[in-house]
Amino acid sequence: MTDEIDCVVIGAGVIGLAVARALALRGREVVLMEATREIGSATSSRNSEVIHAGIYYPRGSLKAQLCVAGRDRLYAFCASHGVPHRRLGKLIVATADAQRAELEALAARAAANGVTDLLPLERDGIAKREPAVSAVAGLFSPSTGIIDSHGYMLALRGDAEAAGAMIAFDSPALGGEARPNGIRLRVGGGAATELLCRHLVNAAGLGAQPVARALEGLDATLVPPLHYAKGNYFVLAGRTPFRHLIYPVPEPAGLGIHVTLDMTGAARFGPDVQWIDRIDYAVDPGRAGSFYAAIRRYWPGLPDGALLPGYAGIRPKLQPPGGAAEDFMIQGPSAHGVPGLVNLYGIESPGLTASLALADHAADELGLD
């Protein structure tokens, strides 16, 4: 016997939780399927926990639109739900005059995205805010902050369940097929079963492409390639001298090795970019050398031996190594022709910041009020 359900969401990371919440708040019957035994065990718990302002993304992109909209909603959500967060602000610093043009380009891009509160700073202004930082110029973003990502996910789960959503742990999606009356899913785990759902949102993160390829009736050529970009983080032994987040000007492969703070005030540095072929969360202590070199460009006083291996995260990149950065891909029925199906691909940074806006966008793709 096949159980029938209105909406199924695959993946209980921050995006899947936000989507399940959005659908449940719209009065839909929702089951959130998670392959592991806990929420947010992969990408959602292995990042910088930064609430981004919306500075870096191309104008008109989904990343830009959903980040800016999601940022404001996220701050409001945290305030109303008691989720620990702090609007610390971020310094983006140029350590050489040749980088001033990049700062100007960032300011223009931010303004185009609706980020209008950036404050240009020269050397003296930076020194007043962050005496340990050495830079010739910078931009201060007061809208950037940090969040307790696990606390946020717990709050999303609470809202979703209060609105009637159910979470099925240890329930990996093994495959399925599109049928005229819905999408039939094969579900593994301790209680292997089949589900027939009218609406399916694939928010499986690193597993989104494998899940999509296992759905019969979906054109496999429309499933984009998946590339693993591993980011390693090192933590600072001892007290941090910083009050704000510190970012260098962006690099071709990413935002560079930057300083973020957690809710206790401890500093961590990262991520670097390491392209890998398989999921591996081990941090190689030998990578510390490149971290020292990068950090000392803006913090020359970093002591020897102060960096300790922290943790690693893996981003589901759509572009290959050396390729131009890709936007979020929210692929609904108008793109692939399968009624009731939305696949979310390449949901990396700023996915956490954008999560509430992204969840409504996915629900809208299904045509659900």
In tens, the pLDDT along 242-277 reads 999 999 998 766 678 999 999 999 999 999 999 999
Split at pLDDT 50, 70, 90, the class of 225 is very high
The whole-model pTM stands at 0.96
Indicate the SS3 state at residue 300. Answer: coil
Identify whether 65 is part of a domain. Answer: no
The confidence score (pLDDT) of residue 252 equals 66
pLDDT at 142 over 60: yes
Q: What is the mean pLDDT of residues 88-100?
A: 97
Q: What is the mean pLDDT of residues 307-325?
A: 96
Structural domain including 308 reads 90-142+227-317
CATH number of the domain that 121 lies in? 3.30.9.10
Indicate the SS3 state at residue 264. Answer: coil
Q: Are residues 205 and 244 in the same domain?
A: no
Q: Are residues 126 and 258 in the same domain?
A: yes
Q: Are residues 211 and 355 in the same domain?
A: yes
Q: What is the mean pLDDT of residues 303-312?
A: 97
The confidence score (pLDDT) of residue 200 equals 98
Identify whether 73 is part of a domain. Answer: no
Q: Are 7 and 31 in contact (CB under 8 A)?
A: yes
Q: Are residues 173 and 33 in the same domain?
A: yes
Q: Are residues 246 and 171 in the same domain?
A: no
pLDDT at 53 over 60: yes
Q: Pick the last residue of a domain from 286, 301, 317.
A: 317
Q: What is the mean pLDDT of residues 89-106?
A: 96
Identify whether 115 is part of a domain. Answer: yes
Residues 137, 135: Cα–Cα separation, whole Å: 6
Identify whether 82 is part of a domain. Answer: no
The confidence score (pLDDT) of residue 251 equals 72
CB atoms within 10 A of CB 220: 11
The sign of the CA dihedral 111, 113, 114, 117 is negative
Q: Are residues 17 and 121 in the same domain?
A: no
Q: Are residues 250 and 182 in the same domain?
A: no
The confidence score (pLDDT) of residue 253 equals 60
Q: Are 272 and 156 in contact (CB under 8 A)?
A: no
Q: Are residues 164 and 301 in the same domain?
A: no
Q: Pick the last residue of a domain from 297, 317, 337.
A: 317
Identify whether 59 is part of a domain. Answer: no
Split at pLDDT 50, 70, 90, the class of 10 is very high
Q: Are residues 165 and 299 in the same domain?
A: no
Q: Are residues 306 and 234 in the same domain?
A: yes
Split at pLDDT 50, 70, 90, the class of 368 is confident
Identify whether 360 is part of a domain. Answer: yes
CATH number of the domain that 188 lies in? 3.50.50.60
Domain count for the chain, please give it: 2
Identify whether 56 is part of a domain. Answer: no
Q: Are 198 and 233 in contact (CB under 8 A)?
A: no
pLDDT at 202 over 90: yes
In tens, the pLDDT along 319-333 reads 999 999 999 999 999
Q: What is the mean pLDDT of residues 155-162?
A: 98
Q: Are residues 245 and 257 in the same domain?
A: yes
Q: Are residues 172 and 296 in the same domain?
A: no
Closest CA to 195 of 69, 14, 340: 340
In tens, the pLDDT along 284-296 reads 999 999 999 999 9
Closest CA to 18 of 80, 73, 57, 65: 73
The confidence score (pLDDT) of residue 126 equals 98
Identify whether 79 is part of a domain. Answer: no
Q: Please give the mean pLDDT across all residues of the chain.
A: 96
